[in-house]
Amino acid sequence: MRFYPGEECGVFAVHGHPDAATLTTYGLYALQHRGEESAGIATSDGKHPFRIHRGMGLVSQVFDSASLASLPGQIAVGHVRYSTTGSSNLANAQPIAVVCSQGELALAHNGDIVNASALRARLEGRGSIFQTTTDSEVILHLMAQCVSKPVEEAFIWALGQTEGAYSLVLMTKDKILAARDPQGFRPLSLGKLDDGYIVSSETCAFDLLHVQFLRDLAPGEVVSIDAEGIHTLRAPKPIATAAFCIFEFVYFARPDSTIHGVNVSQARIQMGRELARLHPIEADLVIPVPDSGNYAALGFAEESSIPFDFAFVRNHYIGRTFLQPTQLIRNFNVRIKLNLVQESVRGKRVVVVDDSIVRGTTARARVANLREAGAAEVHIRISCPPHRFACHYGIDFPDPSSLLANQLTADRILSYLNADSLGYLDLDGLLRACGSPESGMGFCSACFTGRYPVAFNRGLHKEILEGSQSARLAAK
């Protein structure tokens, strides 16, 4: 049972560089925060069949010098995965590679295709045989139906059949295709290194590799990268249709990334400032819940002129696999992941700034830790509105019935946490902090409001593909 929003995925691609696999590995290191379950790279030298290496675990666990030596070529696509649609196993690790009427293809995808189950049923009815239970594979099967079309046209046609969220890269024998869905739910950026081109989920990977940032792909845009450079195949959609995931700014994106001209760390600092203006409090100390609460806490402290300090110390060596479904172990995990410097808070009125409250278990445990350490008062401030709705575009929030804001009123949440006060940032303040309308971006805030930019079948859930597969196997 998950107590935090699950990460999504990260995609990375290189065209026209002799060290494509090595660059992709480092790019995936920079994107590791977007997925910790599996990692993979596929390469092409333009002459031989694709080389592919995938594995379960972190990038550092999947790749070493021997595996990189087995990945020659000047073109590469890479992926780090956290399962949102499709279970966590090696068969579902990406890139997904196929040989079809379009030749060899390798796909890496970030997002969720909300009509994937309907598309898959239609394709299977026509004889398609799927290798995985992910929504991403549907795109490849759609392309394979376009026997007489060039690969670029097949790619655009296939994407036109899908609904939902996709930022993805597709490798052919000699080129990279990259695309964002018409709403632009997930980030995707273009860069240049020497004579080669780079595509990445976030710009933080460019900084690591000294890649020159060119621009973000616009919502709805499709580009091709070949030996001649970057070519736009499908024009961007009008900005009025854009619905970029605002939770990327709140939590997912790395603070050193820049999205549509807005630096993530600066946006989070502004969230903290907005929060301090909306919910002022007299206190002695502002402390963040690391790491995602760091910058919002800094902004809160600056705006309120309250001293800032790090009282929680994060253990960076405890991964998600350590979590166990018992209350005793969950409480232990809260302490082992974030230990408290008791001397920093004893006798003080403390403001704790975090990015979100999902189920509330960990927030409640942190308040208990602060009380035990002798904090005189504990005030909770959250740098986004309450989460009440599921995400269907690539973030694995718990079932809405498990979200604390759906179970309790604000007063009862405060009582449950045993805090002295509780304040959430409102949506207007969050939008201002993220640059709207100055940045020209439109945002998806469905997890707060329930207003979904793309319709979906509420009877389907993210396990539908596994469920249909299990039913077929049971019938045999």
φ, ψ for residue 297, nearest 5 deg: -65, -40
Q: List the helix and strand counts (H, then E) for the chain.
A: 18, 23
Distance, first Cα to last Cα, the chain: 31
The residues, ordered by sequence, that sit 6+ positions from 13 with a Cβ below 8 Å of its Cβ are 24, 75, 76, 77, 78, 108, 169, 171, 176, 178, 198, 199, 200, 225
Do strands 377-382 and 349-354 pair parallel, antiparallel, or not at all (unpaired)?
parallel
User: Is the Cα torsion angle 31, 34, 40, 43 positive or negative in sign?
Assistant: negative
Token duo for residue 439: 């940045």
Q: How far apart are CA 252 and CA 4, in angstroms?
A: 11
Collapse the DSSP code of 356 into the 3-class scheme (helix H, G, I; strand E, B; otherwise coil) and give the result: coil
Q: Where are the alpha helices (DSSP H) in 74-195?
A: 116-125, 137-144, 151-161
As a whole number of angstroms, the distance between CA 411 and CA 323 comes to: 30
Half-sphere exposure at residue 86, Cβ-oriented, CA atoms within 13 angstroms: 31
- Interhelix angle 264-278/294-304, nearest 10 degrees: 50
**100 in active site:** no
What amino acid is encoded at 9 in this protein?
C
* Catalytic residue list: 9
